[in-house]
Chains A and B, each alone.
Chain A
């Protein structure tokens, strides 16, 4: 099936006082209809920047999309003007943010905010938009939508607000939903509810989802395909089963090892961590960006950055070393 959205060789840089930050360095991924693409990585690895580029929301200055293409149904979003982008944002592509506490306008009722995208894009009257908003709210599992419609965001709990955000993003039945760590700010029970809800909605509406997170457990629950990012590079890409069963990049392996286990035999072990911290993106380093933190690093890693290569029919990784044998490839 043709992907709905393709990001190709995207390069994004930020000009700061300390120097140029290379936030995203030639990243490519694709979202297929009805499937969920997970993007994993620690803070500052370029996950959010790459999806904000899709929405055309990189603040410029200081940000700049230097190279690459973002193809949405074959059309390069980077070549559209602001007006054309506005007609796609919210109607064809929906987005949900990390913090539901700050992503709703505190002085407007939630009804007013849900209605907005529909009156903007669908050309329907306020009354119709209200009826559809109420349907959406009940679809999101919000009790008494009629009564809650004219409430303000502060009258909602975090989980309820995130449901409202998802309702807003889905109000025009977009082809693709981009979710930027939408469950990070929520507690685990609410997180589970939101994941359940998302899976149900995807099943009912058949949309494509790009789900950004640093939580591998969420990825395991939701994603069909996973992209692992580190320092603005994609270091591994695979379907979700291969990634968990057969990680091929030292960083993916380290991430999996740092998950707490419910297994009794490992319960008393100290949780594994990844030594050091990720590069700040300013210093240019010829080698693999993970090399200083990597147990497997060999001489070559320090002066040559491995490209993302197929290592199986459907599995790509960027590493000079076969981590199963510890030998250089």
Chain B
């Protein structure tokens, strides 16, 4: 081939031929067109950097120092976000509270994805009695009201669960309880999606072909079928992070989520309602962080949904 090209004085194909795009390159290409999703990613990364790198300038002790002499002071050079009713620095608290809020969002989703995928995959793949039992269980779980459960368990278990230490930071038992309850009560939708996809994918010929080379059930489920249904799982998990953060904020705002002195964006709002007019900095900053996080994650979720769906029409302009 090359010699014929050279004989005719044509340039060789070397260097002109582009290698085909991988799946993730393709997804990124489509994702990039979704302006709001890109905005979401940038904001989310900034928020993560804010709450992680911020820890280089403050210690957790700084965030918990109370000094009633400077209580409710408005934003100033020394306390850029002001102080709260017992004189703690709001800037430092949003940094450490952000770590907890974001971590609750991500870890709760890990729990959710693990349970949802496991139950959905097994139910869809094996079908029959197993499917019946697992799906009835899923429906039963749908009937467990999540918020009252969070409120009750948050109150009852919070001081019974021992604190744990991850990467040099101690998390109180109430954080573990919140993560557990959110994770254990929000996997059902994902399980149904995964089951539905498994029901159709297991009938595909490549699954029969995998059986034919002697692949076992576990390997067919997790190595052959699961990668084919990653798109809905990724989208669902992304949106699940926002949902978990909102839920944490909700119960912490009511004062039964993550217990002080550990800060979260949610429990910083607890009590702020008494100062809505007189000290707006109490709720503006944590509120702003919650809104930005949830909004950007939802945009990312939307962008991923479109980017991962090969049939989606994307406006090229």
- Residues of A at the B interface (CB closer than 8 Å) are 55, 57, 61, 86-91, 94-95, 97-99, 102-108, 116-117, 120-121, 151-152, 155, 165, 168-169, 171
Contact = CB atoms under 8 A, between A and B. Distances in A.
Contact of B216 (A61, A86, A151): A86
B23 A89 contact: no
Nearest to B212: A95
Contacts of A88: 214
B209 A55 contact: no
Given A102-B206, A106-B206, A107-B23, A117 B227 contact: no
Given A107-B23, A107-B228, A108-B227, A89 B209 contact: no
Contact of B213 (A98, A108, A168): A168
Contacts of B212: 55, 57, 89-90, 94-95, 97, 169
A187 to B, nearest CB: 20
B210 interface: yes
Contacts of A117: 213-214
A108 B209 contact: no
B128 to A, nearest CB: 8
A117 B219 CA distance: 12
B215 interface: yes
Nearest to A147: B19
Contacts of A98: 205
A105 B208 contact: no
B20 interface: yes
24 contacts: A86-B214, A87-B214, A89-B211, A89-B212, A90-B213, A90-B215, A94-B213, A95-B209, A95-B212, A103-B205, A104-B209, A105-B210, A105-B227, A106-B206, A107-B230, A108-B223, A117-B213, A117-B214, A120-B215, A151-B20, A152-B23, A168-B213, A169-B212, A171-B213
Contacts of B228: 105-107
Contact of A120 (B20, B205, B214, B224): B214
B206 A105 contact: yes
Contacts of B223: 108
Given A107-B228, A108-B224, A155 B214 contact: no
B240 to A, nearest CB: 23
A155 B26 CA distance: 14
A97 B227 contact: no
A99 B206 CA distance: 10
A116 B213 contact: yes
Contacts of A55: 211-212
Contacts of A99: 205
Contacts, number: 72
Interface SS majority for chain B: helix
Nearest to B226: A107
A299 to B, nearest CB: 44
B52 interface: no
Nearest to A104: B206
B20 A155 contact: yes
Contacts of B215: 86, 90, 116, 120
B97 to A, nearest CB: 39
B204 interface: yes
B209 A103 contact: yes
9 interchain residue pairs of minimum CB distance: A90-B213, A90-B214, A117-B213, A89-B214, A103-B205, A95-B212, A102-B205, A107-B227, A103-B209
Interface in B177-215: 204-206, 208-215
Contacts of B213: 89-90, 94, 116-117, 120, 168-169, 171
A91 B212 CA distance: 9
B27 to A, nearest CB: 13
Contacts of A155: 20
A106 B228 CA distance: 8
Contact of A102 (B204, B214, B227): B204
B58 to A, nearest CB: 45
A106 B214 CA distance: 19
A98 B209 CA distance: 11
Nearest to A95: B212
A106 B210 CA distance: 13
B214 A121 contact: yes
A171 B212 CA distance: 12
Contacts of B214: 86-91, 117, 120-121
Contacts of B128: 61
From B204, B205, B210, B213, name the one whose CB has the most chain A CB atoms within 10 angstroms. Answer: B213
A160 to B, nearest CB: 14
Contacts of A169: 212-213
Interface string B216-235: 10000001100110100000
Nearest to A102: B205
A168 B228 CA distance: 20
A93 to B, nearest CB: 8
A107 to B, nearest CB: 4
A165 B128 CA distance: 31
A98 B208 CA distance: 12
Contacts of B227: 105, 107-108
Interface in B79-136: 128
A104 B20 CA distance: 19
A108 B128 CA distance: 28
B255 to A, nearest CB: 47
A87 B214 CA distance: 6
A165 B208 CA distance: 12
Nearest to A98: B205
A189 to B, nearest CB: 20
Nearest to B201: A105
Given A95-B209, A108-B223, A171-B213, 17 more contacts: A55-B212, A57-B208, A57-B212, A88-B214, A89-B212, A90-B212, A90-B213, A98-B205, A104-B206, A105-B210, A106-B206, A106-B228, A108-B224, A116-B215, A117-B213, A155-B20, A168-B213
